[in-house]
Amino acid sequence: MIIFVSALFSLAGPGTFAQQASEGDDAIFSVKRVGIIDLSEVLRQSQATMNVRDLLDEKRSEFQEQFAAREVELLSREKSLKSKRDIMSIEAYEAEVRLFQDEVAKVQREIQQKRKSLDNAFQQAQDKLRNLAIEIVGEIAKERKLDLVANRNNVLVFRNQLDLTKIVLARLNERTKDARFEVKEVTSSTTTQ
């Protein structure tokens, strides 16, 4: 960034920017009060994120139990199918194998859909929390008459007094303490759109 700025100034010549700026522009673009926020930390540490993770872990466990039972059933069918290999005609056996493979593929698709549903639910919740956190940052900036709030990952050095992370986290937790989260499953018609 510094290299770009200094290169820009050297190309423009020493008097170019001074000629273009007026006294009014200096006041418009002056930054006197600054705040810093670690938005990733706020989202990671928020109680709402932890609640969403707990809910998704619960849903993940439920669907793993469901699919574990189906896996046992499929393994039993596979064993039964293998035992019939020598007593069935080749055509009948191959037809049964195709049916079995179709069933296995269907179960695999269902597993992928469930995982996608969980991933989408988490991402949607994170997006909503991010938007709410940004709204809270705006409110704090207005209250404290801040001219600029920068994300921590874009700032190398700053005074700890400028850090708004804990304040934003506390307000986010307060606003989301009664929030309810639900997971909507993606159906096959939804995934093809």
Compute φ and ψ for 180, nearest 5 degrees: -115, 140
pLDDT at residue 83 tops 80: yes
Q: What is the SS3 assignment for 34?
A: strand
Compute φ and ψ for 137, nearest 5 degrees: -60, -45
Better pLDDT: 96 or 13: 96
pLDDT at residue 5 tops 90: no
The vertex-188 CA angle with 109 and 121, nearest 5°, equals 90
**Segments of the chain assigned E as strands:** 34-37, 148-151
Give the pLDDT confidence score for residue 9 in this predicted structure: 33
Domain residue ranges in the chain:
29-191
Compute φ and ψ for 31, nearest 5 degrees: -120, 115
pLDDT tens digits along 44-75: 999 998 988 888 888 888 888 888 888 888 88
pLDDT tens digits along 86-138: 888 888 888 988 998 999 899 889 889 888 888 888 898 899 999 999 999 99
Give the pLDDT confidence score for residue 23 in this predicted structure: 52
Better pLDDT: 22 or 173: 173
CA distance readout (Å), 64 to 10, 71, 187, 188: 62, 10, 18, 19
Give the pLDDT confidence score for residue 25 in this predicted structure: 62
Tell the burial category of 117 from Cβ atoms under 10 Å away from its Cβ (0-12, 13-18, 19+): buried
Give Rg (Cα) of the chain: 29
Amino acid at 24: G
Residue by residue, DSSP assigns 133-145 as HHHHHHHHHHHTT
pLDDT at residue 192 tops 50: no
pLDDT tens digits along 170-187: 999 999 888 776 666 555
Say what percent of the chain tops pLDDT 70. 78
Residue 147 DSSP label: S
Compute φ and ψ for 7, nearest 5 degrees: -70, -40
